A and B are shown apart, each in its own frame.
Chain A
Amino acid sequence: KAGVTQTPRYLIKTRGQQVTLSCSPISGHRSVSWYQQTPGQGLQFLFEYFSETQRNKGNFPGRFSGRQFSNSRSEMNVSTLELGDSALYLCASSPDGQGLANYGYTFGSGTRLTVV
């Protein structure tokens, strides 16, 4: 069974540009969440999607957005990049309902975004 796949693995962008990150969840998992990981702030919840709808949202500016497709794949977009957006972006998937509580999230290996 394939795991959670995130692409690309590494990305370098310039301030002011925008970026799109991709996440393919485990087959059958309908919930996809995104986290930002930095040395200073640790792991911070960005948002969660289920059935193409954003169900939960963390405390990030509107420059951070996402979407989910009918096959549960998800994309995350960051517009007008700032130096502080440099981070590891982790995608996590889970079965819905009691699945997350029972099994926890399954994480991808992340996309390392560097803004220069």
Chain B
Amino acid sequence: AQTVTQSQPEMSVQEAETVTLSCTYDTSESNYYLFWYKQPPSRQMILVIRQEAYKQQNATENRFSVNFQKAAKSFSLKISDSQLGDTAMYFCAFMKHLNNDMRFGAGTRLTVKP
């Protein structure tokens, strides 16, 4: 079974600084997808970024980027120039190819301080 581990329950960062959230996963699959979702107090889960396991290039979406280390099964999220609106729970998620059962980590609560 696939498991996703987020070892940092809570983190904080000063506005405009950079923060990295960690995620590791366990799988025997070779073809899969990884995601970072953000859940603000409004409760709605919002997709931040996705990565395909067969692509070596790290995904980037504006201020958000990932460091994908397939051999180490690591998928960290870097948020640059942190903004107050980035305050939220962040979930790392794993999905096997052709399987809609997305598995989530326990989440990291990020607080951006002014």
Contacts and interface: CB of A to CB of B under 8 A. Distances in A.
Interface of A: 3, 31, 33, 35, 42-43, 45, 48, 50, 55-56, 58, 88, 90, 92, 94, 100-110, 112
A92 B45 CA distance: 9
Given A56-B99, A88-B43, A109-B43, A104 B50 contact: yes
Contacts of B68: none
Interface residues of B, number: 23
B64 interface: no
Contacts of A112: 43
B33 A107 contact: no
B45 A101 contact: no
Contacts of B16: none
Nearest to A107: B45
